[in-house]
């Protein structure tokens, strides 16, 4: 079995150095304190902050390894306003998924200590599973629907949000009112998404165009190469909002898309830690704050957080 350490070593040369530095620091810390444990140990699934605000985790867990390395690698989207968007002016990624990732990282590094310790990498829909399987990322927070097919390859904490697939058309379009109307129309969605699978089963006569990312579908709709774009309502809402008056969302969702946090399939401890952490941020109000400062600026109101599924 490949451990997170093995994967990080293949990830890039700098990671190995970071790991050694982390271990060296840890060795120094242990030397100072003799055999005493450092602060409260919350157990494998726990995330309570120890004295000094830094949680402690059992040796060998993904949480401990991320903490020792001082870096967490997170896969997210870079072109989806409201959930995951790389701001071209600041080069920072912004959105609800990004905030959720930061809150999970704070559960590892301690409140206020995650700054500068998260590396966000772009994971378009079709590469999310392989990014996790190959150990390129520690977790994926990327409008990622939990389903049984994906569970064959990856694990999912959550859900932390439930979206629904919907349709975006030009603002003046009057003939597309729902999924059935997509038969015979040119429709765009992303490769490797549940949106594509649903489109193919629910409107089998649609003429489908796919790209790696949804922003390319929005461009195709804008210049008339396609008649409609279909994916999750919250993704489309961000694209509608970013395009001024050009597009509209039908607001007629026809699926349920529970968003999960993707982790390595066998890493039950890490998955349960994230589930615990989600429950903490539901309780503390940080979940609602994260929503209101991002998607909530355009979407109606913060959702009632869904119950996590500890399968
Ligand atoms: N939530 C759907 C999925 O995970 C569509 C959105 C996306 O592609 O990120 O496939």
DSSP 52-85: TS-----TTSHHHHHHHHT-EEEEE-SEETTTEE
For residue 166 and ligand 1, the question of a CB distance below 6 A is answered with no
Q: Which atom of ligand 1 is nearest to the CA of 196?
A: 10
Flag whether pLDDT at 18 surpasses 60: no
Predicted confidence band of residue 284 (pLDDT cuts 50, 70, 90): very high
Whether 47 contacts 258, CB under 8 Å = no
- For residue 287, what are its two tokens? 């979940």
Statement: residue 36 has pLDDT above 50: no
Q: What is the pLDDT of residue 302?
A: 85
Q: What is the pLDDT of residue 50?
A: 42
Tell me, what's the pLDDT at 101? Answer: 98
**Structure token digits, residue 158:** 């959550």
**Residue 73 above 50 pLDDT?**
yes
Over range 278-290, report the average pLDDT.
Answer: 97
Per-residue pLDDT for 25 more than 60? no
Q: Which two tokens stand for residue 80?
A: 């989806």
* Helix, strand, coil in percent for the chain, rounding step 5: 40, 20, 40
State how far the alpha carbon of 253 is from the alpha carbons of 13, 100, 164, 216, 276, in Å: 45, 24, 5, 22, 30
Report the alpha-carbon distance of residue 19 to residue 25 in Å, rounded: 10
Say yes or no: CB of residue 144 within 6 Å of ligand 1.
Answer: yes
Dist CA 74 CA 52 (whole Å): 26
Instruction: State the sign of the Cα–Cα–Cα–Cα dihedral 195, 196, 201, 207.
Output: positive
Ligand 1: centre distance to CA 157 (Å): 16
Q: Residue 294's pLDDT is what?
A: 97
Q: Give the CB-side neighbour count of residue 9, counting CA atoms within 13 A.
A: 6
For residues 250 and 166, is the Cβ–Cβ distance under 8 A? yes
Structural tokens at position 76: 């997210």
Backbone angles phi and psi of 160, in degrees to 5 = -120, 0
Q: Is 190 in the pocket of ligand 1 (CB under 6 A)?
A: yes
Q: In what order do the strands lie in the sheet with 84-86?
A: 79-80, 84-86, 93-94
Under 8 Å between Cβ of 178 and 228: no
Nearest-atom number in ligand 1 for the CA of 142 is 9
Atom 9 of ligand 1, residue of closest alpha carbon: 143
pLDDT in tens, 226-261: 999 999 999 999 999 999 999 999 999 999 999 999
Q: Indicate which atom in ligand 1 lies nearest the CA of residue 214.
A: 8
Residue 86: the pLDDT is: 97
């Amino acid at each position: 079995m490949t451990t997170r350490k093995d994967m990080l070593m293949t990830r890039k040369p700098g990671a190995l150095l970071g790991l050694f530095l982390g271990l060296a620091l840890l060795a120094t810390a242990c030397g100072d304190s003799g055999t005493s444990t450092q602060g409260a140990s919350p157990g494998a699934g726990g995330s309570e902050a120890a004295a000094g605000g830094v949680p402690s985790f059992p040796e060998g867990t993904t949480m401990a390894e991320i903490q020792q390395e001082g870096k967490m690698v997170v896969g997210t989207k870079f072109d989806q306003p409201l959930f995951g968007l790389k701001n071209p002016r600041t080069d920072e990624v912004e959105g609800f998924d990004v905030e959720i990732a930061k809150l999970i990282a704070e559960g590892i590094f301690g409140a206020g200590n995650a700054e500068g310790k998260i590396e966000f990498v772009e994971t378009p829909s079709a590469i999310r599973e392989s990014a996790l399987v190959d150990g390129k990322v520690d977790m994926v927070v990327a409008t990622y629907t939990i389903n049984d097919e994906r569970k064959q390859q990856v694990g999912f904490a959550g859900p932390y949000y439930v979206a629904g697939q919907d349709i975006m058309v030009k603002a003046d379009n009057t003939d597309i009112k729902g999924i059935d109307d997509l038969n015979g129309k040119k429709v765009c969605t992303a490769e490797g998404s549940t949106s594509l699978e649903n489109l193919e089963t629910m409107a089998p006569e649609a003429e489908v165009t796919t790209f790696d990312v949804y922003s390319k579908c929005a461009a195709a709709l804008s210049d008339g190469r396609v008649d409609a774009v279909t994916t999750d309502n919250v993704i489309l809402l961000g694209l509608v909002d970013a395009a001024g008056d050009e597009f509209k969302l039908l607001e007629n969702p026809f699926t349920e898309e529970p968003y999960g946090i993707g982790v390595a399939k066998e890493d039950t401890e890490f998955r349960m830690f994230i589930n615990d952490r989600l429950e903490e941020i539901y309780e503390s109000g940080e979940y609602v704050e994260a929503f209101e400062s991002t998607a909530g600026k355009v979407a109606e109101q913060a959702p009632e957080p869904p119950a996590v599924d500890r399968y």
